[in-house]
Structure 1
Amino acid sequence: MSSLYRTAEHVSELSRIASVNHGLDQQLSQQLKSLVITRAQEETQIATSVMFPLVLLPVGKTSLALQFAHSCAGDGIYDAIFWVQCETSVTIRQSFGKIAEALEIPGAERDDRHEESLIAIKSWLKLTSNRWLIIFDNVDSLLVESDKVLRPYWPDGVSGAVLITSRAYFNFIRDTNRQGQTVKPLDPKQSWDLLLDLLGDHWKALEIRREIPELEIAAVKSMIKQLEGLPLTIEEAATLITNDTLGGRTIARTYEAFKDRIRSLPERLSIFRSVSERAPDPLWDITFKGLSRNARTLIGVLTWLSPDAIPIQLFQAKDSSLLPGSPQLLHTNVTISPGLDKAICQLQEKKLIRYNNRVLSIHRVVQEAVNFQSVEDLQESFDAATKLVSDRFPKRLIIGTMYQEWSRCKQYTSHVASLSKRLSEYSKSLALKRSTQFVELLAHFSWYLFELGDYDTCEEIFDTALTACQDKKSLLYSQLRGTQSGLFFDLNLLSKCREAWEETLQIREESLPHDDPHVAGMVSNLGNLDLPEGNVEAALRYYERALQVWINSSEESAQPLAKTYLSLGRAHMYQGNLAEALRYTAAAETLAARAMGTGVGVMANIHYAAWKSYDACLKIGIASMPLHPIVGATWYSLACVEFAQGNEETAKAISRLRSQARDDGPIARILWKRATILESRSAGTNKEEVFALKAKANEIKQRLMASGEGGMIHRGDDDRAEVDEEDSYDALVPLCYR
């Protein structure tokens, strides 16, 4: 008996897999199963991925894929079926965490073991004799380029099946073995069978006895043709037909209302949608017109959010001004308000949303069908969604961290990302206003992503946030640019980093006193930038200037003060001043441990850079910032110390997770190190592999250096006139992670 691992909690269709697939189940699901079996038999002799992209218009991709998965599980076609929710890079990460738990990988239940778990999952997929299928659902919903996000998770060099659901055929991962199949909407007979099933036994009995009036049959044929075989809209049509106040339990009356609405329907304020997606608009408009104000406000807010796993806590707020038009939707305790409860019930009755276990969900088709009456109506719903999410998302002090708030951030991450994405989509045709509160939300969110190490999503958020921030001389803009420059620094894009940090410093010096902590933060950062470029004296001057500000500031400055001590220690180490280096580093460790504890990120840097305590660094890094470059750097350093453990492979894998599809400095350094390890061990037996690895490493290095990435290696021993080969690869990695 196969196992279906439900790796995406709260997927809205999970609880109604078969509810709208009656017409699809026997025909389309069987077609897919036949395709899978045939292709799998053809591929048994070669170790490659068997891929089946499920490509459809909005006919219920997720529902069909789930029906197909359950059918395959019941028939024993696969021993293991895994589900990956591709709404954002974060949901992909969470889904693979569930897969690791299903495979009982040690430590899989811990979020801080993601990289190790992912490596173990890919190893299992490659080595197992079990027949498996991975379903990547809604790949085209990703915030950033799909191939970049999926690349680290793609099962390379394996013998198994991958099913992708998407609204358009596209080889997201650029795999030459991939063969696409497009699942079409329901044909007229399937549509009629589904509608009858949804209308109930009375209508089915009339059909069997051939007693359905000709007028009804004519209306059915016309309506089904215009709905273009979309199951979700056929389900909605059934709801309207059985509504005494509208259809009066006749198809003809419902169709007449449908035609009347076509003639009066104004131009939609919406993102781009295909003809088939726009066809049911009159039907949706009829449904939405009958909503109460509170229900209308609620579905307007849900339109902007990630469709799955919307926590009811989002509406738990003390400030009624967050929803000035519908304050009844807000509640101040665990029990939801009567107004919210009534609005949820109304939307559920009309099959527009689902509510289960204090979690709301809404179909993507419904989200896109919501008919905003004017730009003002659209703006009001966007502002309401922004206020609610902003009220719940943790805030970051401009010189602080958010490590202790990661669990709360995680709960709302997909919703902030959805707000940003959907605003960008609407902005292509409409000039919506971006409030200061929205920009502040993105500022906090981008910092969280930066700490997490999700650099690709972070860059996408910056594109929206920096454009949305109207005042380019404001402290809010400087906060965004400051975080962006930190990202540039970690990616070793030093020229871009300097430009952004200098702009940030200029804004703050014009708005704040010279000894303000926010100014000192940028001053210290410029020192961090000068140091890897060999300007040690300039770096020391920056550090000393910042140091005086931190010393004279409040207790809240303990963290930046500890970081500045660490930077001073590193600078003196580069000058060969060992005693001074140890003194400052010890001060950094003492202060950080007293003010923040021994498990925070700055302690990982202390262990790595000063004491070379790689095991201690790795323990902190994995626990608090698993995607951060210091984790990959630590694995690399451990590999250098203990070749026999094979850690260079782990370093490469983890660095690839951060680098995504991009060959960057850490990848080049690891390839070079692996070549030198093979060369020292093999006694000339692996010449071809060594040559290939070194050639690839050198190719990446030359390209990166030509594009301005990388610094120089400054050493205290003046006798060393030239930088050796290892130094040239170290220079491709940010100084803190060498």
Structure 2
Amino acid sequence: MCSNFFGRESTFEEIDQVLGQDGSATTFRSIVLFGFGVIGKSSIAAQYIERNMEEKKYDAVFWVYGETAASLRQSFKDVALRLKLPGAQPNLHNENLQLVQNWFQTTDCKWLVVYDNVEDDNLLEPYWPESSHGTAIITTRSHNLMHKFATSGLEITSWDAKAGSEFLLFLLKDNIGRDIQSERLSAVELAEKLGGHALGISHMAGLIQRRSCTIAEFMRIYLKDPKRLHKSELQAVWDVSFGTLERNSRAFLGVASFLVPDNTAQDLFENRQGHDLPDDLEFFLDDSKFSGAMEPLLALALIKWDKDARIFLCHRMVQMQFRSFLSLEERQQAFDNAVVLVYNAFPKQSDSTNKHQLYHQWTQCNRCLQQVLRLKDNFQEERRHSEKFKASSLFCELLKDCQRYLYEINAFQELEDVCELNLLSVETLDDQEQAIDIKASTMSHQASMYESIGRVEEAIKLNTKGYNMRLEEEPRKGGFIGGFEQNLGYNYNTANQHETALMWFEKSRVTWTAWNEKEGREADWPTVTKKNTARCLVYLGRYEEAQSLLDVSIREFKQDKPLNWAMLAFTYFVQGILERRRNRPEAAEANFMEAQNMWFKGDQTRFHPFNAGCIYKMGVVCLDQGKVETAIKHLRDALEITKFHSDAMPVEHARGLFKLSEALVQKSSTNEGEDDGSEKEVEYLRDEAEKYLLRRDKSATQFGNEDAYDKWVPIFWR
């Protein structure tokens, strides 16, 4: 019998009864494996897959990491790419989700998907198969998921001492001492101390083999250890193996215990660029020493290494037990070491080619995102245990860079969490100048988030607070001050206070020009500020001045290396707004199309609100031209995107609903006498538009024109 399947045959049979014996169930079937943490639920799911792959029961099997929104997104990206679905790309998270869901519904393959370590049913819901066939397994600590998602549930419990001892004896069948009775009694005692945990038993079997001792001899050594009296039996047994590790192995395991448990890329440990490695990680630079550090960790099953996928895995139980084994000072060092590795891998806003943006670095940001969020969660956990646990300046800088990326991809819930933690983290820094710098940047990111979700008054308050912090700095940093002045400019644009907005843009121009002169550069101001000022001038009706700045902005953005596709797309969008106001709908349509094309040059994500804004505007100007069928198509396409964001951005969805109703009215007026059912749809669309607008403006009374909606839309895609 394979050790992977030891003692699990009855469990596999119960899963088969629910999912079907041969994977060919005609209806969608699912099961929840629930039980306490680190009890072996994931291992059972993996073993079930292994057995059924050997029997060729399924054509396709997928493993989805279900712990966080980021891990779910990443997993579905991997599935879409693995299936080579047309249109699948690394950064197209919502598109990848749709592609995989469509595949689940339409494929003739027999498939199984495992959602591992699910903690939040709301996170899982969008990723749950929308299919009438196929099979799924959920592993979780919560039995409640069984009622919401699954056909059935199965509680997984640890082995009792007898079953655990039989597993240990099975693993050590070639290393058992001559006194069989003594070995059996010792095996029962050890299994009992390990609480019947299969992972712990497997790990201890590896340690006993490595020491070339009998089970009875191992137990005598363990029982003599006085430190075990002050710890739980489970922790004490784990500590025996941790205590055998040499310095380099301990340093690696310390880092691994703070990173993503399921799939840490080997590249993270091979990166030679960026911040210098701490002394205790210098062995990473020597292949021989690195291999030597890995050997005992692999032998003891403390980590696993998938050479083909080039990833390391460290079980959550091992992570938890090793962090508990370390002193506070050692945990702090291990955490700081992990931060250095992730910091070196994550792109920097401050790099000269990035210009405080990360648009052309999204692929690498996405690769690192789960690690940053894991560090965030682990830092919070450590701070709950001890206020002496501190954030390093590097950790705060890493969070700051991650904040920018999360803002750019519209991941507002994660952005809010990261910003809140960073504001707490900077309070632990000794360098007050750096603390103020990071705090001000974090407030700026929070403000950008609030503006995007319609809370512009809060955005203005935060940017004003950050601006005043910058003004108090000595010496003053003109670039940061000019940045806040620009932020306040487009905040006031969104708040429909365009004269005030122009005042702030003018302040930013003066500040930037003076700063560049002081630093020995050309007396100029940033292209992005020129573009934002042009947009403000459009809303003030000063079209010639706006056009002049837009011409300059387009020329300068095109000269950027690498191409700043996002800012160029925003500029064409403003040009489209200007052309429509000049009553030139054909030119407006061309510019909105160019804005979308430019966006796709870099991002290619269909589900970003900016893309929805481009499609919506194309629909609007097509309607202006009487191209009703084309307008209806564009507006329906835009609604497919805005519905994804309708909880956080209800007005964007509302205006699309309203404008589609207008397009359908125009269509029906040209088809008099024909009952195409559009009258009922128009009524429904108007009702829905009002409902969504009232979510943003509870006192709204006007629902019958574009401006009633547009005045609430962020200026970037208004």
**TM-score band, normalised by shorter chain:** 0.7 to 0.9
Mapped partners of 2:349, 2:531: distance in 1: 23
The within-5 A match list for 1:498-537 is 498-511=460-473, 516-537=478-499
Aligned to 2:691: 699
Q: Which amino acid aligns with 2:391?
A: R
> Offset at 1:731?
3.2
Q: Which amino acid aligns with 2:500?
A: A
* 2:26 pairs with 1:34: no
Q: 1:55 to 1:362 in 2, by over 3 A?
A: same
Q: Secondary structure at the match of 1:428?
A: helix
Q: 1:363 to 1:176 in 2, by over 3 A?
A: closer
Match among 423, 433, 450 for residue 390 of structure 2: 433
Structure 1 stretch 76-85 or stretch 451-460: which is displaced more? 76-85
Aligned to 1:9: none
Cα deviation 1:144-181 (Å, max 9, x = unaligned): xx445444433346544332222333439x84666433
Aligned to 1:138: 117
The within-5 A match list for 1:72-221 is 72-73=52-53, 78-108=58-88, 110-140=89-119, 146-156=120-130, 158-171=132-145, 175=148, 179-188=152-161, 190-201=163-174, 203=176, 213-221=180-188
Q: 1:597 to 1:351 in 2, by over 3 A?
A: closer
Mapped partners of 2:664, 2:83: distance in 1: 33
Q: 1:582 to 1:328 in 2, by over 3 A?
A: closer
Aligned to 1:338: 288
Q: Which amino acid aligns with 2:596?
A: L
Instruction: Say if 1:663 and 1:700, in contact at 8 Å, map to a contact too.
Output: no
Instruction: Say if 2:557 and 2:564, in contact at 8 Å, map to a contact too.
Output: no
Q: 1:671 to 1:598 in 2, by over 3 A?
A: same
Mapped partners of 1:595, 1:317: distance in 2: 28
Match among 206, 218, 225 for residue 254 of structure 1: 218
The structure, 1 or 2, with the larger RCO (C-alpha pairs under 8 Å, 6+ apart) is 1
Identity %: 24
Mapped partners of 1:198, 1:188: distance in 2: 15
Mapped partners of 1:681, 1:127: distance in 2: 34
Q: Which amino acid aligns with 2:70?
A: V
Instruction: Say if 1:52 and 1:164, in contact at 8 Å, map to a contact too.
Output: yes
Cα deviation 1:318-339 (Å, max 9, x = unaligned): 8997423x254241xxxx3433
Instruction: Say if 2:281 and 2:337, in contact at 8 Å, map to a contact too.
Output: no
Match among 536, 550, 567 for residue 512 of structure 2: 550
Q: 1:691 to 1:253 in 2, by over 3 A?
A: farther
* 2:245 pairs with 1:291: yes
Aligned to 1:608: 573
The within-5 A match list for 1:563-578 is 563-578=528-543
> Offset at 1:302?
1.2
Instruction: Say if 1:603 and 1:617, in contact at 8 Å, map to a contact too.
Output: yes
Instruction: Say if 1:608 and 1:617, in contact at 8 Å, map to a contact too.
Output: yes
Instruction: Say if 2:255 and 2:335, in contact at 8 Å, map to a contact too.
Output: yes
Aligned to 2:585: none
> Offset at 1:510?
1.1
Q: Which amino acid aligns with 1:585?
A: L
> Offset at 1:497?
0.7
Mapped partners of 1:590, 1:670: distance in 2: 32
Structure 1 stretch 474-483 or stretch 551-560: which is displaced more? 551-560
Mapped partners of 1:318, 1:547: distance in 2: 36
> Offset at 1:605?
0.5
Structure 1 stretch 513-522 or stretch 425-434: which is displaced more? 513-522
* 2:191 pairs with 1:224: yes
Q: Secondary structure at the match of 2:305?
A: strand
Aligned to 1:685: 677
Q: 1:696 to 1:192 in 2, by over 3 A?
A: farther
Q: 1:442 to 1:186 in 2, by over 3 A?
A: same
* 2:540 pairs with 1:588: no
> Offset at 1:293?
1.7
Q: 1:694 to 1:521 in 2, by over 3 A?
A: same
* 2:342 pairs with 1:350: no
Mapped partners of 1:38, 1:97: distance in 2: 29
Cα deviation 1:257-279 (Å, max 9, x = unaligned): 44445863545xxxxxxxxxx65
Q: Secondary structure at the match of 1:427?
A: helix
Q: Which amino acid aligns with 2:706?
A: E
Match among 598, 612, 616 for residue 620 of structure 1: 598
TM-score (norm 2): 0.84
Mapped partners of 2:149, 2:678: distance in 1: 29
* 2:642 pairs with 1:655: yes
Mapped partners of 1:214, 1:548: distance in 2: 88
TM-score (norm 1): 0.82
Structure 1 stretch 595-604 or stretch 367-376: which is displaced more? 595-604
Mapped partners of 1:28, 1:365: distance in 2: 22
Aligned to 1:467: 424
Cα deviation 1:40-89 (Å, max 9, x = unaligned): 99984xxxx64422223313333322332344455565444332223543
Q: Secondary structure at the match of 2:62?
A: strand
Instruction: Say if 1:314 and 1:389, in contact at 8 Å, map to a contact too.
Output: no
Q: Which amino acid aligns with 2:715?
A: L
> Offset at 1:538?
1.2
Cα deviation 1:214-237 (Å, max 9, x = unaligned): 222222222223323221111012
Q: 1:77 to 1:675 in 2, by over 3 A?
A: farther
Q: 1:136 to 1:586 in 2, by over 3 A?
A: same
* 2:209 pairs with 1:242: yes
Match among 420, 444, 447 for residue 401 of structure 2: 444
Q: 1:127 to 1:41 in 2, by over 3 A?
A: closer
Aligned to 2:672: none
Structure 1 stretch 162-171 or stretch 519-528: which is displaced more? 162-171
Mapped partners of 2:373, 2:445: distance in 1: 17
Cα deviation 1:412-469 (Å, max 9, x = unaligned): 3222211111111122221111122221111112112222322222211112111111
Q: 1:22 to 1:212 in 2, by over 3 A?
A: farther
Instruction: Say if 2:470 and 2:477, in contact at 8 Å, map to a contact too.
Output: no
Match among 233, 245, 248 for residue 200 of structure 2: 233
* 2:655 pairs with 1:669: yes
Q: Secondary structure at the match of 1:243?
A: helix
Q: Which amino acid aligns with 1:665?
A: V
Which runs of no fewer than 5 residues in structure 2 stay unpaired? 577-587, 623-627, 669-674
* 2:447 pairs with 1:485: yes
Cα deviation 1:252-309 (Å, max 9, x = unaligned): 2223344445863545xxxxxxxxxx65212210000111122112211111111222
> Offset at 1:376?
1.7
Q: Secondary structure at the match of 1:242?
A: helix
Q: 1:597 to 1:313 in 2, by over 3 A?
A: closer
Aligned to 1:393: 346
Which runs of no fewer than 5 residues in structure 1 stay unpaired? 1-17, 141-145, 268-277, 713-721
Instruction: Say if 1:297 and 1:381, in contact at 8 Å, map to a contact too.
Output: yes
Q: 1:103 to 1:243 in 2, by over 3 A?
A: closer
Mapped partners of 2:78, 2:239: distance in 1: 39
Mapped partners of 1:604, 1:148: distance in 2: 34
Mapped partners of 1:322, 1:582: distance in 2: 50
Mapped partners of 1:62, 1:499: distance in 2: 47
Aligned to 2:583: none
Q: 1:179 to 1:96 in 2, by over 3 A?
A: same
Mapped partners of 1:484, 1:19: distance in 2: 53
Mapped partners of 1:590, 1:599: distance in 2: 12
Instruction: Say if 1:80 and 1:133, in contact at 8 Å, map to a contact too.
Output: yes
Mapped partners of 1:35, 1:427: distance in 2: 43
Instruction: Say if 2:513 and 2:525, in contact at 8 Å, map to a contact too.
Output: no
Mapped partners of 2:17, 2:422: distance in 1: 47
Q: 1:253 to 1:107 in 2, by over 3 A?
A: same
Instruction: Say if 2:460 and 2:492, in contact at 8 Å, map to a contact too.
Output: no
Mapped partners of 1:320, 1:685: distance in 2: 64
Q: Which amino acid aligns with 1:391?
A: N
Structure 1 stretch 227-236 or stretch 96-105: which is displaced more? 96-105
* 2:340 pairs with 1:378: no
Aligned to 1:61: 41
How many aligned residue pairs are there? 673
Q: 1:656 to 1:198 in 2, by over 3 A?
A: farther
> Offset at 1:478?
0.3
Instruction: Say if 1:454 and 1:658, in contact at 8 Å, map to a contact too.
Output: no
